[in-house]
A and B are shown apart, each in its own frame.
Chain A
Amino acid sequence: MLDVIWLIPAFPLVGFLLILVFGRRLGEPGAGYLAAGAVLGSFVVSVGAYFDLLSRDAEERSHIETVFSWVPVSQLQVDMAFLADPLSITMCLFVTGIAFLIHLFAIGYMHGDPKFSKFFLYLNLFVLSMTLLVLGENLLVTFLGWEGVGTCSYLLISFWHTKDANASAGKKAFVTNRIGDWGFMLAMFLGFWAVGSVSYVALNEAAEAGSLATSTATGIALLLFVGAVGKSAQLPLYVWLPDAMAGPTPVSALIHAATMVTAGVFLMVRMNPMLTAAADWAPTLIAWVGAITALFAATIALAQNDIKKVLAYSTVSQLGYMFLAVGSGAYVAAIFHMITHAFFKALMFLGSGSVIHGMHEEQDMRKMGALRKFMPVTAATFIIGWLAIAGVPPFAGFWSKDEILLFTLAERGVVLYVIGLVTAVLTAFYMTRQVLMVFFGDAKWGSHANEAEAAQLEVTPDTAADPPVTHGAHGEFKPHESPPIMLVPLVVLAGLAMVGGVIQLPSFGFIPKSWQYRLEHWLEPVVEFGEAQIKDSSAYGNKELLALLAIACALAGIAAAVAIYSKKLREPIEPEILAEGWRYDWAISAFMGGPGRKMFDAVAWFDKTIVDGAVNGSARVVSGAAGQLRRGQTGNVRNYAGILGVGVVLLLAWFVIGRGVL
């Protein structure tokens, strides 16, 4: 099966091409099914590859499949080649799996959209890029996927491009990502010049063998991290992700929660030997960035009222966790959290999509409430997701988060651990707030039924593709449950969010030995850093205690939220500054619109006035001088004789005085 690993990207490619050519003819829902089918094909191949790998010895679990030579110049020999190893196949599995589910969901969600087939065109292109990203044998193929997903993200965020906000968000995402790509590219260059290759194997082996200078390794690691910061929306480049919610909700689920944004984490894990070889402060820096991002985003999420914005900031926060893990050496935990997060966050995004769908494009949580009665399946699955993210055992999120915190304490000390813990409290709090506002309490939409829709059409037409077309036919406003095709993915994801934790259970006494650290063992060939490295730390010794502490924090957060938003024991504190995201975005805009713009204007002015001015100026000087000179040509013959005479004298002077014997 590994020989046909190229089929994984090939399926979506074919799907993409078919929809490109026949998209309009296929129409709805044909295009959707075709796209979903293509992704399913990839998933199947991934599963096959998984079992193939599984059947090999641990040392043999790496296979390179070269499709063709891509950029062969001199020393730089880059192949279009795929690396099948536990890490990439793991990624493939969950990427294609979730992608398939989301494709299904989208068939329902995008129902009636005039650009239905185009949506799936982009979606398949995205899956293609994403699989290239994770399967790439070298940094360049990964970069191809990396930029590819960025481009798809751009296309999908600005999918409803007639709204300026959507278009801006798409552009913002792309450009911000590009800042990160700058780091990625430089890392590649540095790697190439240090090792003579950009393939992962060569680079990682060089790092492991210690044949790289520490400074080089640090450079590569940090530059890759810059790339990861861009792609995975960490401070200071996270700004694009909340805006990216302008895209259709399946996009948010797939790209901006489950897969693309985790690419940065994947990359860091992929290159983990480089991090190990780097100077010590490099992983510490990464951990700090991750932790601060996690906390920072969590605080912002506290005060958001847009159902998707909450999830977006939550995503940023969770990604921060993953980087905290990476920086703490918990690579497996990072991957683990990536997977569980993919499950529950995709679930919740889809759930929110279902809610939005059911609420006729309403996204403001203050206008929701009590939806559990109208959308029981959505509500149930959403609640599972909520429990997972809040860190309530035995849901998936608890296990992964717990492991990250364990490693953090063991490797990076108590400060970061506390930050992580506080973030966990906040996470539980704001997620509970969201659940309460959306599904519980009083229905706040009933009172302003139709005019609400009408008003919302004009005032906050956030994601309105073309509401009148989708739901305009409804005579009266009443939330409704989504069609089965949307619910099936929800249910499947809810199941995964519930039991996803089993792939990497900690070594608690009550858990059978064979169930412990399965993911870690599986990833062993790729990630050598694991449980063994922290075995001697005191934190490891008290891991059960720490787990209890984490549970306590989660429950505390939930309790507080219930107290405030359900029992109304206290007025909610939602400071303006949090709602505005600490004004970070505002500051950037102010800078770009102010001094930045001035700088650009200055360059344009410089170009026009100085550079071009010099050119035109020299022309003017010539004609000006000529104009002056021209006045010597008086037309008077005696003047002419005088000028001639002057010439004679000068010439004579040269010959007689200059050259003569005088």
Chain B
Amino acid sequence: MLAAGSSSDLAFPILSMLILLPVAGAALIVLLSKRRPEYMKLVAAISSVATAAMSVWLTVEFDRADDGFQFVSKQPWIDQWGIGWHLGVDGISLFLVLLTGVLFPLAILGIDPHNDDPAQDKPYFAWLLLLEAGVMGAFLSLDLFLFFVFFEIVLVPMYFLIGGWGYERREYAATKFFLYTMVGSAFMFVSIMATVFIASRNGVNGITFDLVEIAENASFATSTGRWLFFGFAIAFAVKVPVFPLHTWLPDAHTQAPTAGSVVLAGVMLKLGTYGLLRFGLYLFPEAAHWSRSLWLTLAVIGITYGAIAATMQKDLKRLVAYSSVAHLGFIVLGTFAFTSEAITGSVMQMVNHGVSTGALFLLVGMIYERRHTRQISELKGLQAVAPIFAAAFLLVTLSSIGVPGLNGFVGEFLILIGSFGTARWWVVIAAAGVILAALYLLWAYQRVFHGEPDEANKTFPELKLKEALVLLPFIGVIVFTGIYPKPMLERIEPAVDRLIAHVEDRGGFEIDRPTVIEHESPAGEDDEAHDAETAEAGE
């Protein structure tokens, strides 16, 4: 039975610690004297690295055979409303948590805010840590209320990061970001409550915001479910962002400080796609399935439209931002294809996009630090003067393009192949989007790195050791997951399969599977070998 998931007997509340550690760090920073700015970064680094270590530990401890929620922590919080501090991690959220855990220390260590006044370090790092706590919380929450709290709370630190340490139009961008996301949340806010109340009258015992409880027991009337689903979906669609709700993103990305962009692209956008999966599909399978054509279409529009818009950008950061629109289109596509391959691919792509685009923003940030411009037209021939830097950039670019052997490909491929059977014509167009990705990214690369460097770019400094160390984990992940994605896939898949089983069960429909033509060949034996291997691993 699909129960609430087994909780490991780990006495240590690791998930709560993942959230509370950064908060503690932030609190400590707030308490530190403003006159000692040098300690701020140290504290931030220590607490984020500790969080990272813990998230790595979590990943190691994670039981890949278990398809339910693990390390569950469930405490009453607001009994009045049936709200609990309910955390848990499964294959779908595991790597997002890991990504969050690892990305933040890199963002903290790797990029210094361009502060004129060292005293400004204090709020900067405090906000970053709070942001980390919020994002972590959102990925770990298994309670609708709790999730919403974290989903919303991340806006505040991000708002201040963009507004306080961003570039020229930061006020505009920060405000737009905040309000736009809030509009989406408004619908989810209402939808969450309606879900809870309607659930309490249809199968769930009493008022509870517990996600698992509602998803497993509640039955919604068809039209009700659809309304509720859209309430959730609008919020997530804004966050993703899905065309045509994307225009906050280029502004926010472009104007945010580098760390902000990295985090925004790396993990915050995933709140949307993750939410669609975790809340949209899980709670309202029928509605999600019913509206899939819409989503698939928007996703495909996002892919092509984002790519075309990216091609025409003159600002490097903006270009990368638009590329996010395109990339996230793939994730949405996979999510609404409903097959195991596609959704696994989507989850994986969430992580991959975080890594690749995060790294891209880092690199663009480094370019900005050196040249104080993001205009493509003002950069030229950097490869000639900084070949290692260029190589790093190229590798990340290729990963973003989705070249096989690098991480970007695996997710994209899984999404497309998985979606092909259930969303054929969308995939045909989406696959064409892959061509466009090569077009705009390589064109940008060419304009920035190729050619003869002009005077302004002649003195472009090569990658520094510190920067290289920051980039190294990104590159490592990019290459490793591209070549050996199995460790990820085998942890993600069980949870996805369970989700799909749930979706089919509650939604009352069958999802197409590939026809399998049995054949006698070594490949067949291999399949069996696989099963044996997985079974072994399971033990």
Task: Report A's interface with B, CB cutoff 8 A.
Answer: 62, 64, 66, 68-77, 79, 81, 137-138, 140, 143-144, 146-148, 151, 154, 158, 161-164, 166-168, 170-171, 174-175, 178-179, 181-182, 185-186, 188-190, 192-197, 199, 201-202, 205-206, 209, 211-212, 599-601, 603-604, 607, 611-612, 614-615, 619
Contacts and interface: CB of A to CB of B under 8 A. Distances in A.
A74 B516 contact: no
A74 B484 contact: no
Given A161-B383, A189-B427, A76 B247 contact: no
Contacts of A185: 413, 416, 431, 434
A509 to B, nearest CB: 41
A202 B493 contact: no
Given A148-B404, A195-B516, A75 B410 contact: no
Contacts of A79: 526
Interface string B470-500: 0000000000000111100110010001000
Nearest to B497: A74
Contacts of B427: 186, 189
Contact of A70 (B246, B403, B449, B485): B485
A193 B403 contact: no
B523 A143 contact: no
Given A171-B442, A186-B428, A193-B515, 18 more contacts: A73-B340, A73-B489, A75-B514, A77-B527, A148-B403, A148-B404, A167-B450, A168-B446, A185-B431, A186-B427, A190-B420, A192-B417, A196-B515, A196-B517, A202-B519, A205-B521, A611-B246, A615-B248
Contacts of A137: 523
Label chain B's interface by main secondary structure. Answer: helix
Contacts of B446: 158, 167-168, 170-171
The 4 closest A-B pairs by CB, nearest first: A196-B516, A167-B450, A189-B420, A74-B340
Interface of B: 176, 179-180, 243-244, 246-248, 305, 308-309, 311-313, 339-341, 344-345, 381, 383-384, 398, 403-405, 409-410, 413-414, 416-418, 420-421, 427-428, 431-432, 434-435, 438-439, 442-443, 446, 449-453, 483-486, 489-490, 493, 497, 513-517, 519, 521-524, 526-527, 529-530, 533-534
Contacts of B521: 199, 201-202, 205
A194 B176 CA distance: 47
B451 A612 contact: no
A603 B341 contact: no
B485 A71 contact: yes
A137 B527 CA distance: 14
Given A201-B523, A205-B519, A171 B443 contact: yes
Contacts, number: 198
Nearest to A201: B521
12 contacts: A64-B522, A68-B484, A71-B413, A75-B341, A144-B404, A162-B453, A167-B450, A167-B451, A175-B439, A185-B416, A196-B516, A611-B247
Given A64-B522, A148-B404, A69 B414 contact: no
Contacts of A175: 435, 438-439, 442
Nearest to A208: B519
Contacts of A166: 450
Contact of A601 (B312, B339, B383, B420): B312
B517 A615 contact: no
B458 to A, nearest CB: 12
B341 A76 contact: yes
A185 B419 CA distance: 12
Contacts of B176: 615
A75 B484 contact: no
B450 A164 contact: yes
A314 to B, nearest CB: 28
B249 to A, nearest CB: 11
Nearest to B432: A182
Contacts of A81: 526
Given A75-B340, A144-B405, A171-B446, A182 B435 contact: yes
B248 to A, nearest CB: 7
Q: Which of B179, B404, B427, B483 has the most CB of A within 10 A?
A: B404
A75 B489 CA distance: 13
A181 B402 CA distance: 12
Given A147-B404, A202-B519, A73 B345 contact: yes
A106 to B, nearest CB: 20
Contacts of B432: 182
A195 B515 contact: yes
B80 to A, nearest CB: 35
Contacts of B384: 161-162
Contacts of B418: 73, 76
Q: Which of B180, B305, B519, B522 has the most CB of A within 10 A?
A: B519
B63 to A, nearest CB: 18
Nearest to A168: B446
B410 A77 contact: no
A148 B405 contact: yes
A655 B526 CA distance: 79
A181 B435 CA distance: 8
B503 to A, nearest CB: 14
Contact of A73 (B244, B305, B344, B451): B344
A138 B526 CA distance: 13
Nearest to A81: B526
A66 B527 CA distance: 11
Contacts of A164: 450-451
A161 B449 contact: yes
Contacts of A154: 442
B530 A77 contact: yes
A162 B404 CA distance: 27
Q: Which of A64, A168, A186, A601 has the most CB of B within 10 A?
A: A186
Contacts of A205: 517, 519, 521
Given A148-B404, A167-B446, A603-B305, A74 B517 contact: no
Contacts of B523: 64, 137-138, 197, 199, 201-202
A193 B514 contact: yes
A72 B515 contact: no
Contacts of B339: 74
